[in-house]
Structure 1
Amino acid sequence: MDCVICLDEVDSDHGSYCCSRCRFIVHVECATKVNWYSVIESVEKYDDDSTSLSEESRDSYIVIGRNEEGKVTKIRHFCHERDLISSDMIPEEYKFCDGCTSLISDSFYCCSECNFFLHKKCVAFPRKQHFWLHECERPVILVAGNIFKCSYCRRICNGFAYDCPRCGINSCLQCATPYTLTFEGHEHPLFFLYMYERSCTGCGEEISEERNPSHWFYCCGICDTSAHLYCVVRMGEYPFIKPGKIYKEGEHPHPLRFVKKMYYYPECFECGVPCQDLALQCMEPGCEFIVHWECACPSDLRE
């Protein structure tokens, strides 16, 4: 296996640090090169119920139906009230995953009665797991239905999050599995790196060891391409907010829905400027309330 810090192969005969629960492995030199570790003098506190992961606690869905070949055709996911049906047919219209909020471009599960979609890879995320970059020893819990700012990439997201009840971190699914990333604009996989000195192909900014910790980046091991996470997934100002999802906060008496206005631009009830791109629109029949997300965004998500 390759070291997740430098991407060079790890020879176990020369020592390494690895995780017993996943494929995370680093050279001893890479692990101690930066102050991102702590010394554990006793492992007894890691054996209690709060840090253990039973098989029952890991699965986020149950299988409801299979076909004659044994392939799963229907599941029930913890975050949705109805059963989800398996499909390999890519929708003709743009559809976005309710888990990672990215475009549906491969096999997925969907609800037959509403606009709920999940990549099959997002369905597989466990309900509870030990997060690879989580300094707290407690497992993180998969939650849905909230809007949050990722503690790592600092992007606002309304998809799934891994939440730690103890230390309060929130991680989007992109940051929960950042080792490799496939991107339709590049033919090779991009690898996540901790330490690297190069210019971002997307924005031209110098990438160095002293960079802002929110500016994680990816590098292609085949060609000379490096990019910040933000530049790789750039899809407007809020790439991780799925249109159509319900916004449950704010002072408006009716439920609001995220929308992206592409042609008709009604005026914002808050500032009076036409609502282009991301906005919140009232779902109540007869109510014409609409407001820019910029005008409605809570202060704690702006920080």
Structure 2
Amino acid sequence: LPIHDHILKPSSFSVDCTGCSETKNDADGYFCFECNFYVHKECAESPLEINHRSHSHPLKLRWCGPPGYSDKRCCLCGETLGLLVYHCSTCNFSLDTACARKHEIPSIDYPKAHEHRLHLLAKRVSFPCACGKDVPGAPYLCHQCNFMIHRDCLVLPRVIHLTRHKHRISRSYFIGPGKFSCGVCRLELNWRYGGYRCSICTDYVIHLRCATRDDVWDGIDLDGTLEEEEEIEEPFQVLDDKLIKHFSHEHDLELNESGVVCHETIHCSACALPVYFDAFYICSVCDFVLHETCATLPRKLRHELHKHTLTLRPNTTPDEEHGYNLFNCTVCQRLCSGFKYVCSKSCDVQIDVRCCSIREPFVHESHPQHPLFLTSSEPIDCGACNEIASPVLNCVDCGFSLGYDCATLPNKVKHKCDTHFLSVCYGEETSGEYWCEACERKVNPSTRFYTCEDCSSTLHITCVIGEFTFWRPGKMAISRHEVAIIPNDFASRPYCYMCRSRCEDTSGIIYISEKHICSSKCLEVYIKFDLTFSKLETVEIALHNLELFRLDHTSHGWSIL
């Protein structure tokens, strides 16, 4: 046969045909035992030239695939072409063998998309599809209405519910007059085209392609299903004027109202940050504490960071079924030990409550002139730290982007180098030199840094925010070891038991078996986490996934068992 150089023998296999790339069970074909080449009988015996109703010129069979100048797709079905192709070189028109055997041009009745019968235009053209994208392709069209649509836009879901909006939204191939911006990408939406629209909030509209992105839509078409009211689970019961019973704790919690006393050594069990001057609930039996604002965190949350509903999971003890001391936040990539939001489905998503506290539109001190939105999940440079981040909050007006680790940076903190509160400065113009009070190295004034408004002292962000900033002080169980996070407030910084270096991190020290450990890197080496035989999603897996604990075995001679 012209399609192959060797002798082909009659055979029947359930494998891909080299000619059409399809697999047919019990189909007759020809097989080459020298090079495992297989082709269906009907493909091998395809006529050298055909006349097809979809095209005005004869189509000639090519045995070596489509020509290089073509887009390598069938003009009828849009699938990628194989080795056997019927082609018209005059019009750059191609058909695969399956479509070439069909004598009728496809047409469909699809009332969900259009009230009239739609016919496939067997020609790849640029046209104004309802989605607003001028993408070349073979459209379906209605001769009565002059309606044209992409093949994949034809079957878009009719009714969907996104976590970005509280109501269901419905597909329309014509929005109608008005000035709109997309609820996802935040760019202008042309009312002459289609989109998804909320019937209650009529100004809320989303591009067809944006609404059905894999990171936005859960894949469920709700057309024909009744809308049910979601049951709201309150996070706590009010027992008295200042007494509540929170779902995350077995004891009653009493409100300590904000005042003049700074509680910098008391940390919230939810966000892991000090309570400072804020109002907080405290347990009289144990050391459990919640910010007043953290106590009101909803137990169920629909958030733009994830396409499914999120469930609040307290992270109180390692013995609970779903309570682990450390987890890797899916969004900011920090190791955290506070409360977390997890996916109500089967997605491997764990989001720190600080990241979930950010909602659109978000106004941040680093970019106060415009609001920020979660428009894309693509990695991009963060405008605050100049590091690649994903996801990021974007400004649609000027292109500024902000990573979630920078967006959740505490704006007010205390540090032992200063008696006052430190606040974040996002760069300033100066002719002088700035020095860090902690490490005594230069501070670049054009980038972000912590500063004291009373003393004008400056500190690097990394000198203030350490690895243990978002770990709650106290004891935790890690791989059968009792571990404590203690303040690094010694007069002389202790040496790390593993690396023999000073414990430089001012946010804390790991204390285990009467030994000081400077970081989670050294902690992993000390207790020799055995990830291979771990049965549960414990802290070992969180550390492994974060990939923060790769040691330089060349210089230190260490290995992880």
The two structures have a TM-score, normalised by structure 2, of 0.40
The answer to whether the 8 Å contact 2:379/2:392 transfers is no
Query: Take 2:358 and 2:504, find their aligned partners in 1: how far apart are those partners?
Result: 31
In the alignment, the residues of structure 1 paired with residue 260 and residue 188 of structure 2 have an alpha-carbon distance, to the nearest angstrom, of 37
SS at match of 2:478: coil
Report the counterpart of residue 334 of structure 2 in structure 1: 155
Matches within 5 A, 1:115-134: 115-134=287-306
How far residue 92 of structure 1 moved from its aligned partner, in angstroms, is: 1.4
CA distance in structure 2 between the aligned counterparts of 1:177 and 1:130, rounded to whole angstroms: 12
What is the alpha-carbon distance in structure 2 between the residues aligned to residue 250 and residue 79 of structure 1?
A: 24
* 1:245-284 correspondence runs (5 A): 245-252=474-481, 255-263=482-490, 264-277=492-505, 278-282=508-512
1:45-67: CA deviation from partner (whole Å, max 9, x where unpaired): 9989xxx8433xx222211211x
Question: What RMSD, in angstroms, separates the aligned Cα atoms of the two structures?
Answer: 4.3
Query: Deviation per CA, 1:27-59, whole angstroms, max 9, x where unpaired?
Result: 3367348553354335689989xxx8433xx22
- Structure 2: which amino acid aligns with 1:89? G
| Percentage identity across paired residues of the two chains | 23
Which of 262, 270, 295 pairs up with 1:92?
262
- Structure 1: runs of 5+ lacking an equivalent: 67-72, 206-210
8 A contact 1:266–1:274 mirrored in 2: yes
TM-score (norm 1): 0.69
Match of 2:237 among 62, 71, 74: 62
For 1:98 and 1:279, the matched residues in 2 are separated by 19
Alignment of 1:160-239 (within 5 A): 160-164=339-343, 166-179=346-359, 191-195=372-376, 200-205=382-387, 212=389, 214-217=390-393, 226-232=401-407, 233=409, 236-238=465-467
**Secondary structure class of the residue paired with 1:121:** helix
Q: In structure 2, do the counterparts of structure 1 residues 188 and 144 end up closer, same or farther at CA, with 3 Å as the change threshold?
A: farther
CA distance in 2, matches of 1:117, 1:99: 8
SS in structure 2 at match of 1:261: coil
Select 2:283's aligned residue among 106, 111, 133: 111
SS in structure 2 of the partner of residue 99 of structure 1? coil
Q: Partner of 1:296: helix, strand, or coil?
A: helix
1:301 CA displacement: 4.5
Change (3 A) 1:142 1:91: farther
| Post-superposition offset of 1:99 | 1.0
Task: Indicate the structure (1 or 2) with the bigger Cα radius of gyration.
Answer: 2
Amino acid at match of 1:144: N
* Cα offsets for 1:167-222 (capped at 9, x unmatched): 232111123232156767887896343259996442235xxxxx65x34236598x
- CA shift for structure 1 position 154: 1.6
Kept in 1: contact 2:198–2:205 (CA 8 A): yes
Amino acid at match of 2:346: R
* CA gap 1:224/1:129 in 2 versus in 1, 3 angstroms: closer
Which residue of 516, 523, 540 corresponds with 1:296? 523
Give 1:65's aligned amino acid.
D
CA distance 1:81–1:33, change in 2 (3 Å): closer
Secondary structure at the aligned position of 2:259 is classed as: coil
What is the aligned residue count?
274
Bigger Cα displacement from structure 2, 163-172 vs 3-12:
3-12
Amino acid corresponding to residue 54 of structure 1 in structure 2: E
C-alpha separation between the residues in 2 aligned to 1:187 and 1:228? 15
